[in-house]
């Protein structure tokens, strides 16, 4: 059933998606703000926390990559612009920390920095889900961009026609690659957080309430990935249902 040319199921899906997006983003922002106001008792900055986590796992974190026997053994820690733009780049072994994390001493900064160091540890140990995610990045990136264009073009051509249906199916297949990336991202992010929390506790960098605060920050961040994967799955199921109806 369509109302004014619009599918009410699609409208409901968009409302749910937007609602989930705002809810999870609001939660992580409020959680991050709360714990960013709590200074670390050790006075360590995010960069120093990341360095300690790396070193405790056999990796040297510093301003320059350290090599031993010709093989890269270190991770470059550097500051980048933006807020919550922190990431680890396995291509050049660079741990990029945002302005609010790199030189800041807070529970939130420690949690985020340790999490990104967790990704570096995954890379050094050949963590299987991390490897799989890296392999599907090109297909997922292209798929997320091409999928809706193909689906739109196919719909214009007419889903009832053989060519139009084929184009739509191709678009859905590309979108499925993007959904797969979202799903594979979940174990990667959860594992990085687990490694971060274990290292923070084992090294005595955080303890008690501050350790719990860092866990809360990372849990809030993980929820954004869960929400993104759920939204992507719902959209994929809708597209598959749309194809069956036509």
C-alpha–C-alpha distance, residues 23 and 174, integer Å: 28
* Residue 234 DSSP class: H
30-33: list long-range contacts, CB under 8 Å, 24+ apart. 31/108, 31/216, 31/217, 31/220, 32/84, 32/108, 32/217, 32/220, 33/108
pLDDT in tens, 208-224: 999 999 999 999 999 99
Of the residues 99, 116, 189, 201, only one is catalytic, namely: 116
Q: What is the mean pLDDT of the chain?
A: 86
Distances (CA, A) of 61 to 77, 218, 224: 6, 21, 28
pLDDT in tens, 151-203: 888 878 876 677 877 888 888 999 999 999 999 999 999 999 999 999 999 99
Q: Is 116 one of the catalytic residues?
A: yes
Q: Which of 132, 172, 130 is nearest to 155 (CA)?
A: 172
Q: Which two tokens stand for residue 77?
A: 């820690």
Q: Which two tokens stand for residue 165?
A: 């249906």
pLDDT in tens, 104-159: 999 999 999 999 999 999 998 999 999 999 999 888 888 888 888 888 888 788 76
Do residues 215 and 108 make contact, with C-beta atoms less than 8 angstroms apart?
A: no
pLDDT in tens, 6-44: 677 778 888 888 888 889 889 999 999 999 999 999 999
Q: What is the CA radius of gyration of the chain?
A: 21
What is 166-211 written as a DSSP string? HHHHHHHHHHHHHHHHHHHHHHHHHHHHHHHHHHHHHTTSS-HHHH
- Strands (DSSP E) found in the chain: 60-62, 67-68, 71-72, 74-80, 87-89, 94-98
Q: Is the predicted pLDDT of residue 229 greater than 80, yes or no?
A: yes
Q: Is the predicted pLDDT of residue 65 greater than 70, yes or no?
A: no
C-alpha–C-alpha distance, residues 37 and 104, integer Å: 10
Q: Is the predicted pLDDT of residue 79 greater than 80, yes or no?
A: yes
């Amino acid at each position: 059933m369509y109302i004014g040319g619009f599918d009410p199921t699609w409208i409901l899906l968009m409302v749910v998606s937007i609602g989930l997006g705002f809810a999870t983003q609001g939660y992580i922002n409020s959680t991050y703000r709360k714990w960013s106001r709590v200074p670390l008792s050790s006075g360590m900055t995010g960069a120093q926390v990341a360095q300690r986590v790396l070193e405790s796992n056999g990796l040297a974190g510093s301003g320059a990559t350290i090599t031993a026997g010709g093989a890269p053994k270190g991770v470059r820690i550097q500051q980048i612009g933006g807020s919550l733009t922190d990431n680890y780049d396995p291509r050049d072994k660079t741990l990029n920390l945002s302005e609010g994390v790199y030189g800041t001493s807070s529970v939130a900064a420690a949690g985020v920095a340790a999490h990104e160091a967790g990704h570096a540890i995954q890379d050094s140990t050949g963590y299987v889900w991390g490897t799989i995610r890296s392999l599907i990045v090109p297909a997922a990136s292209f798929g997320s961009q091409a999928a809706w264009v193909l689906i739109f073009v196919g719909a214009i051509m007419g889903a009832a026609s053989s060519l139009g249906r084929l184009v739509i199916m191709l678009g859905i297949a590309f979108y499925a690659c993007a959904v797969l990336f979202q799903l594979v991202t979940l174990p990667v992010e959860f594992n990085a957080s687990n490694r971060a929390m274990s290292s923070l506790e084992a090294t005595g960098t955080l303890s008690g309430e501050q350790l719990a605060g860092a866990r809360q920050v990372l849990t809030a961040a993980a929820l954004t990935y869960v929400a993104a994967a759920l939204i992507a799955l719902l959209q994929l199921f809708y597209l598959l249902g749309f194809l069956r109806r036509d």
